[in-house]
Structure 1
Amino acid sequence: MLYLWIKIFHIMAFTSWMAMLFYLPRLFVYHTENADNKNFVSVIKIQESKLYWFIGLPALIGVLITGVALIAYDVSIFKGGWLHAKIMFVLFLIIFHFLCGFYLKQLSEDRCMKSGKFFRIFNEIPTILMFIIVVFVILKPF
């Protein structure tokens, strides 16, 4: 029963983390495309910061803690290569997360040179990674 509760919290943390990873780059699009509107940008900066620090980071920590707990609870899941592949793509998501933090800092200091088009493309990365991760979890292809 404990394993199922850990899994529930893992899924909830992952869902919250993905929400941040989906929405923060969209805020970056609005930020860069409205850079001349200082009042709008000041509000977006607050939203970006709160989303990253108060939703995204705690959710990431929750994903990591519950993920490690799930593996520790049932070490036999390491028998399939699917978990190794999933973990690799989760590491890519973690890199994406901290890259968002890098752009958040640049945007907060008004020194980001990336365009709205860049952030529109950048915004697609977590969707692709999430799809791959979910496929590995459900299908366990190898």
Structure 2
Amino acid sequence: MNEFLIFQWFKALHLIFMVAWFAGIFYLPRLFVYHAESTEPKVHAQLKIMERRLLYFVTPFMVLTLIFGFGMLYIYGLDWLRISSWMHIKLVLVFILVIYHIYCFSLVRDFRNDNVKRSGRWFRWFNEMPVIVLFVIIILAVLKP
């Protein structure tokens, strides 16, 4: 297989896993909103299961997104990376998303232990952060300013 075809496969897989990751990273904080705003013990019990399962389900998608993304960077090479300032911004934003994802583990644990001190309103704002970051990443990747 030539290098171009390998790169195309990496790009396709990167995008597939990114979409799957974001489906989860958009939905999980919405579950947090419902959980924070509910007072029903049965609802809390169900949401605890859903939150944990969803987070563990989408985490491999995050890892695979990173693997194929860094694989593309490797194929492009360091010289390309040095002159692509838009990619530096994108990588910082991806790093922020990874930290966001990891922080979700802490939130799932807090919900599991009934130790959440944040309001539904806070979780609504928390839910919007990855949307904004995704918009910026897509604009950077497409326009390459």
- 2:89 aligns with 85
Please state if 1:101 is matched with 2:93: no
What amino acid does structure 2 have at the position aligned with 1:100?
C
Say whether residues 1:46 and 2:64 are aligned partners.
no
State which of 61, 86, 102 in structure 2 corresponds to 1:59.
Answer: 61
The question of whether the paired residues in 2 share the 8 Å contact of 1:7 and 1:66 is answered with yes
Amino-acid identity (%): 35
AA paired with 1:71? Answer: L
Give the alignment of 1:68-79 within 5 angstroms: 68-75=70-77, 76-78=79-81, 79=83
Q: Does 1:16 align with 2:37?
A: no
User: Please, which moves more after superposition, 95-104 or 3-12?
Assistant: 95-104
What amino acid maps onto 1:70 in structure 2?
M
Tell me by how many angstroms 1:2 deviates: 1.1
Question: 1:77–1:83: 8 Å Cα contact kept in structure 2?
Answer: no
Residue 120 (1) aligns with residue 124 (2): yes
Q: Which amino acid aligns with 2:94?
A: V
CA drift of 1:68 comes to: 1.1
User: What is the Cα deviation at residue 40 of structure 1?
Assistant: 1.1
Deviation at 1:5, TM superposition (A): 0.7
Calculate the TM-score normalised by the size of structure 1: 0.94
**What is the TM-score when the length of structure 2 is the normalising length?**
0.92
**Deviation digits for residues 82-118 of structure 1 (CA, Å, limit 9, x no counterpart):** 1111101111111111111111110111001111111
C-alpha deviations, 1:39-82, integer Å up to 9, x for none?
Answer: 11111111100110112x10110011101111111215412101
Matched-pair contact (CA < 8 Å) for 1:45–1:108: yes
**TM-superposed deviation, 1:38:** 1.0
| RMSD of aligned Cα (Å) | 0.9
Gaps of 5+ in 1: none
Looking at structure 1, the residues matched to 142 and 104 of structure 2 have their Cα atoms a distance apart, in angstroms, of 28
- What is the CA–CA distance in structure 1 between the aligned matches of 2:86 and 2:115, rounded to whole Å? 41
Task: State the number of aligned residues.
Answer: 139
Tell me whether 1:138 sits opposite 2:145 in the alignment. no
- 2: CA distance, partners of 1:54 / 1:90: 19
The list of structure 1 runs, each at least 4 consecutive aligned residues, that deviate by more than 6 angstroms after superposition, is none
